[in-house]
Structure 1
Amino acid sequence: MLLIALLCAGVLIKVPYAEMTPGPTVNTLGDHDGEPVLDIKGHKTYPTDGHLNMTTVRVTSPDYRMNLFQAVAGWLAHDNVVVPHETLYPDGKTEEQSTQENAEEFSQSQESAKVAALRELDIPVSTRVVVATVVKGNPAEGKLHAGDVIKSVDGSPVRKPGDVAKLVTKHEPGEPVVFTIVPAADAAAAEKAGEEPASTERVTVTTARAGKSGAEAERAIVGIQAGTDHTFPFTVDIKLADVGGPSAGLMFALGIVDKLSPDDLTGGKFIAGTGTIDEEGTVGPIGGISMKTVGARAKGARFFLTPADNCATAARDIPDGLTLVKVDTIDDALDSLKKIREDRTGALPACTTG
């Protein structure tokens, strides 16, 4: 009877944990669902060989609740990781909110990968600061619109998104701020015609308080979020559905460089990896690194490009036959790829637990 009671308890008791398992891994140099993952038009491309695989992690949905037996089984399994539910879904996010956030991060990672790759090849990319979002109910609503190009604030040139907030918060709440913009429609028309926008508009917005009490009350806002937009000299489409998050940025960037370069980056080797990337080519850490190395090795990868900040964790349990390669930037990754294709693997920067 005691055993039956324990079995029933194990099934019925729900625990606040979620599970991560290895997800699909896709060759950025190849096809997926019958289409090239990287589709480049308007610029000469070169044949590629080998693999530059991006890796993923499967996670249980926000609404899924594990029972005690499932949690214990996950803790004992080598290829699964059980983590507190709030680690994957902080602040009680719904599945819809999580999916939307992952889609936005994935889209931004594609944009950053394109910029980083083209800049690595000294191909010019035009960048401009734009209104990314307008917060409803704030002073900018109806005056500024998503897609408007911000040229200056109070006459001071805007070169990066952070400049906008700095210039706005110089004001006291209730003071006017003058934005010099190119309206979104004019900017889109000029881009389509391959021209620079010919005219600008001045828009005055009266600032509001950011909060109701404390230090926050003294900060002036207009209710927009600034971002960046780019004009590419040719088309680079990344066609990969049902993937979210920013962690494929590095591998997308390397795939683009490979397709636009006469040199074969892989030397026919099977290389996988992960890592965010920004427009300057800096590689950032990601989650689920141990699941990604397991998934990559299972598909045949021999080398794994690992963000430096993930190295210590990844090195604690390296799948047999897989070499972890430490990378901080896209230049590090390209240098390591050269060593791999030249069979100078002893010179690779290795991940360690220290």
Structure 2
Amino acid sequence: MRENTNGEDEDFIVTVVPRSRRVGSWLVVAALVLLLVMAFTPAPYVIEAPGPVFNTLGQNHAVGSTPTSADEKKPLIVIKGHKTYATKGSLDLLTVSEIGNPQRKPNWFEVITAWFSSSRAVIPMGVAFPAGQNVREQNAENAQLMTNSQQDAIAAALNQLGYDFTQHVVVEQLTDGPAKGVLKVGDEILTVNGAQVKGVQSLRDLLKENGAGTPAAIGIRRDGEKTMVHVTPTTTAGAVVIGIGAGMEYDFPFTVKIQLSDVGGPSAGQMFALGIMDKLTPGSLNGGARVAGTGTIDSEGNVGAIGGIRQKMYGARQAGATVFLAPKANCNEVTGHIPSGLHVYAVKSLDDSIKVLDAVRTGSSTADLPTCPAS
């Protein structure tokens, strides 16, 4: 105590803050500082999220968006020189949006948030953008894959509908494999051991049937002349190969143009093919329902695996789809990750997909249709 100016005694109370409370306060401050740092610190990852959805039976703009240019008001699929039919509902193709690139990395806060999101995925920057490839080069590659996919989709649709047109399997590139010095770029591959080569997958299957270590008789057309060469396949990563990059060349009987801007990669192939088929046939493949799907396609109608399947399922559901066509090869990523209200069917070919659409259109039982195994 001490005496105040009035001569009275005055008590002074000293408050002592417990050590544990002081430590707790500092921890809170440290956590806030850490969060602030994380909010601005770049992370070496890319975030994959559901991207825009496009109806192949509709216009060239994303589902739910308003066209902002004349191009976006154009039909996504245009067919000239052949009768077309009215369609209903939708056959949606899905995309994946990438958040981040080597020039603009997402911050740690964004990455951690994405880790806890069922509709997003986090992948290392080096996987999304391999060393030695910049963003411009990757975009150019994806654009070329999209172009090739569109051509293969047209061929797959026309083959499925029984149209007759010229299509060739050709050698597009050579590696240091067994075909080097025997085959040339531009050679058309006609047969393997007497069996007709109808497409790239057909070529793979025939080489597998021949086996590695055994010479294969390959019929080719070079400079307009047919000849026979012999190549002994080897095994690479479990596949029987001859060391070539094979591709397709087509001469279609009428014009099919796919108008889709700013989307790359081959994963829309299946939905392009189904959209073309729907426009070329009376009635509606989907019965007017909202159907979505994904998957690569080749000229023989084989549906292949794609990336970002989880994000695409969520994108489909957000756009209102209840039926989803997924490549069977993606089932390991589908199982246990299907959004509520979405019915996913596993398909390996256009035949499989059409069976699903037939059931949707007619309202018949889907019990026997292939699905991915339950978790």
Pairwise same-fold verdict (TM > 0.5) = yes
Evaluate the alpha carbon distance shift between residue 99 and residue 6 of structure 1 in structure 2; reply closer, same or farther with a 3 A threshold: same
Alignment match, 1:117: 157
SS for the counterpart of 1:53 is strand
Deviates more, 1:88-97 or 1:282-291: 88-97
Alignment match, 1:58: 97
In the alignment, structure 1 residue 330 sits paired with structure 2 residue 370: no
Evaluate the alpha carbon distance shift between residue 129 and residue 342 of structure 1 in structure 2; reply closer, same or farther with a 3 A threshold: closer
Give unmatched runs, 5+ long, in structure 2: 1-28, 61-71, 208-219, 228-241
Larger radius of gyration: 2
Aligned letter for 2:370? P
Aligned letter for 1:80? R
Name the CA distance, whole Å, in 2 between partners of 1:69 and 1:149: 53
Superposed, 1:243-322 pairs within 5 Å as 243-322=263-342
**TM-score (norm: length of structure 1):** 0.75
Superposed, 1:199-278 pairs within 5 Å as 227-278=247-298
Evaluate the alpha carbon distance shift between residue 231 and residue 71 of structure 1 in structure 2; reply closer, same or farther with a 3 A threshold: same
Name the CA distance, whole Å, in 1 between partners of 2:295 and 2:372: 14
Name the CA distance, whole Å, in 1 between partners of 2:110 and 2:189: 55
Name the CA distance, whole Å, in 1 between partners of 2:162 and 2:226: 33
Indicate which of 128, 140, 154 corresponds to 2:168.
128
Name the CA distance, whole Å, in 1 between partners of 2:131 and 2:364: 47
SS for the counterpart of 1:310 is helix
Query: Residue deviations 1:34-61, cap 9 Å, x none?
Result: 1111111111111111110111000134
Evaluate the alpha carbon distance shift between residue 327 and residue 99 of structure 1 in structure 2; reply closer, same or farther with a 3 A threshold: same
Indicate which of 115, 123, 137 corresponds to 1:83.
123
Evaluate the alpha carbon distance shift between residue 90 and residue 342 of structure 1 in structure 2; reply closer, same or farther with a 3 A threshold: same
Name the CA distance, whole Å, in 2 between partners of 1:95 and 1:116: 31
Name the CA distance, whole Å, in 2 between partners of 1:151 and 1:352: 38
Name the CA distance, whole Å, in 2 between partners of 1:315 and 1:151: 39
Name the CA distance, whole Å, in 2 between partners of 1:262 and 1:288: 33
Name the CA distance, whole Å, in 2 between partners of 1:151 and 1:284: 23
In the alignment, structure 1 residue 49 sits paired with structure 2 residue 88: yes
**TM-score (norm: length of structure 2):** 0.71
Query: Residue deviations 1:96-146, cap 9 Å, x none?
Result: 1110111111111111111111111110121124564699xxxx9xxx98x
Superposed, 1:127-146 pairs within 5 Å as 127-130=167-170, 132=172
Contact preservation (8 Å) 1:61, 1:95: no
Alignment match, 1:350: 371
In the alignment, structure 1 residue 21 sits paired with structure 2 residue 49: yes
SS for the counterpart of 1:237 is strand
Name the CA distance, whole Å, in 2 between partners of 1:53 and 1:241: 15
Quote how far apart the aligned CAs of 1:281 are.
0.8
Name the CA distance, whole Å, in 1 between partners of 2:341 and 2:195: 53
Evaluate the alpha carbon distance shift between residue 329 and residue 180 of structure 1 in structure 2; reply closer, same or farther with a 3 A threshold: closer
Evaluate the alpha carbon distance shift between residue 2 and residue 35 of structure 1 in structure 2; reply closer, same or farther with a 3 A threshold: same
Evaluate the alpha carbon distance shift between residue 61 and residue 35 of structure 1 in structure 2; reply closer, same or farther with a 3 A threshold: same
Deviates more, 1:74-83 or 1:116-125: 74-83
The count of corresponding residues between Structure 1 and Structure 2 is 313
